[in-house]
Amino acid sequence: MRDILEAVASGELSPAAAEARLAGYASTDAGRFDAAREHRRGVPEAILADGKIPEETASLALTALETTGRALVTRTDEATVAAVSERVGEARPGATVDVDERARTVVAHAPGFERPSLEATVAVVTAGTSDAAAAGEAATVLREMGATVDRIDDVGVANIDRALDQREALRAADALVVAAGREGALPTVVAGMVDAPVVALPVSVGYGFGGEGEAALAGMLQSCSVLSVVNVDAGFVAGAQTGLIARAVSAARDG
């Protein structure tokens, strides 16, 4: 502990980073950032932009960057992206900021930060264009956890030949996230075609009865194939859960 405090005294370490190392989290005006959790499971702590004003999100992102070397922001909009980019750019000149508009994510890395690397591939599969945001969120998390991500898009079951055309690619993955809205049937079909574990991701696409993702969620929970499910639009959770599987497989490969 002494060396941490000395590093603060000498300016090598910011007070936030020191607090994170000592207490496991860093306090900010916009709330608490939980740095310790990241160490435990290799899952980056996500900052949910939805329901926060851009300045709060930017402030939490900067704290994340300072305490863990990385910030992952989800459910962003244009204003949030601008606020985060500007704030990080000013405060940490050498940091990289990676924006994915479709996935609605922003990832910032401090200079010198090194992403982990796993020896495992996760396929992120979508039924249609409107599943892109949830699936993209999953893909971003997976990349940050170090997995190789293979995107297989627009293979919804209304035209079954598309999924069949991707049979080889689907079978090559160590784990799969399969996203679908509407009737949510794709994960069932895919899980019937592969050996690896499938995590089904229902998407809030649809209308009328069951149209905010409940039809897809219920269908996935009732699936005739073996698979497990996350909540509606929970791309982060789907990515992190398959990331944990990829991590276990990679560790076993490393022996």
Of residues 94-133, which lie at the interface with a copy of itself (CB under 8 A)?
Answer: 127-130
When asked if residue 191 is in the footprint of a copy of itself (CB under 8 A), the reply is: yes
Does residue 183 interact with a copy of itself by CB under 8 A? yes
**Nearer residue to a copy of itself within complex by CB, 37 or 115:** 37
Q: For residues 189 and 160, is the Cβ–Cβ distance under 8 A?
A: yes
In angstroms, give the least distance from the CB of 178 to a copy of itself.
Answer: 12
Q: Which of 14, 99, 154, 169 binds a copy of itself (CB under 8 A)?
A: 154
Query: Which string of DSSP letters, residue by residue, matches 77-102?
Result: -HHHHHHHHHHHHHH-TT-EEEEETT
Query: How far, CA to CA in Å, does 249 sit from each of 32, 121, 147, 197?
Result: 32, 10, 11, 12
Where are any strands of DSSP class E within the chain? Answer: 26-28, 31-33, 46-48, 70-74, 96-100, 105-109, 121-126, 148-152, 175-180, 198-202, 228-229
Least gap, CB of 89 to a copy of itself (angstroms)? 26
Which of residues 2, 40, 112, 168 is near a copy of itself by CB under 8 A? Answer: 40
Q: Is 213 in the site for a copy of itself (CB under 8 A)?
A: yes
By rule CB under 8 A, what count of residues binds a copy of itself? 84
Residue 32 within binding range of a copy of itself, rule CB under 8 A: yes
